[in-house]
Amino acid sequence: MSHSGKTKHGLKHRSFLKWAGGKYRLTDNINNLFPKRRKCLVEPFVGAGSVFLNSQFERYILADINADLINLFNTVKTDVDAYIEALKPVFFHAEANSAGYYYARRDDFNNSTDPFFRSVLFLYLNRFGFNGLCRYNSLNEFNVPFGAYKSHYFPEKELRYFAEKAKSAVFICADFNETFKLADDESVIYCDPPYAPLLQDSNFTKYAGNDFSVTHQQALAELAKQTVNERNIPVLISNHDTAFTREIYHGAKFKRIKVQRTISQAAERRVKVNELIAVFK
């Protein structure tokens, strides 16, 4: 059984979110590495959900430590029609693509505690903010600047597909330690953590406002080894291909992939880097 989630025309499904580090381009590589006859995909770092959207499992356990992201997914799953109708006045406002409107909505988001309202503004900020970044300051306030794009796409088709596929998924706000515990003997776990830096003196990626440190990277690697050895549950982890990651993933099989970074708006600043997928089984 193949776990590929392509359409009958061989097309892939895009997330309704822009997302730095999203796995849309790599879903074929990842699907090809999933073991056969596993019925449940567990993702402790679901992000924009590209792997979920482009795979075929009977059920999904999808987690992230970002409460706003999980709230958004659960809102879309619960009532996509109501969500889309609430989103339209924000997206199609005459001033939607202006800095003034964007920063006013960002303030509204940071000052609100209403889950539905926050879910609407979270997607607006994601689509109109800079390069699909999701970033918070020390006060846990969303602080991504305005993106200043010439045009914007309203992802209604993607929202509706997500809501349909989400019928087989559970979305939870949890860290990777908690999420691993939810896997059973029918599961495979795919991890897409904040990446280790390409250079040793680089800063580690921010993980929902917290540093995902060397210690976190090592702890995830050890948990993967423990899970396959003690529970016979296979684990896949994506990361940069560096001496550090190859050391901490020692014992896994490696699939090396060359990818193009798209976090910069300037095309000439996008460079190809090596990533790896470590397969523990």
Query: 7: buried, middle or exposed (CB in 10 Å: 19+, 13-18, 0-12)?
Result: exposed
Whether 68 has a binding-site annotation, put simply, is: no
Largest CA distance in the chain: 57
Nearest Cα to Cα of residue 253 among 275, 236, 233, 278:
278
**Residue 268: how many CB atoms within 10 A of its CB?**
6
The dihedrals phi and psi of 280, each to the nearest 5 degrees, come to -100, 115
Residue 68 and residue 173: Cα distance in Å, rounded? 9
Whether 281 has a binding-site annotation, put simply, is: no
Whether 8 has a binding-site annotation, put simply, is: no
Whether 165 has a binding-site annotation, put simply, is: no
Helix axes 156-165, 67-78, angle to 10 degrees: 90
138, two tokens = 């020390």
Residue 231 and residue 180: Cα distance in Å, rounded? 11
CB 122 within 8 A of CB 109: yes
Q: Decide the pairing of beta strands 187-191 and 235-240.
A: parallel
Nearest Cα to Cα of residue 238 among 197, 200, 191:
191
Residue 81 and residue 84: Cα distance in Å, rounded? 5
As annotated, the binding site includes: 19, 23, 64, 192
As annotated, the binding site for S-adenosyl-L-methionine includes: 19, 23, 64, 192
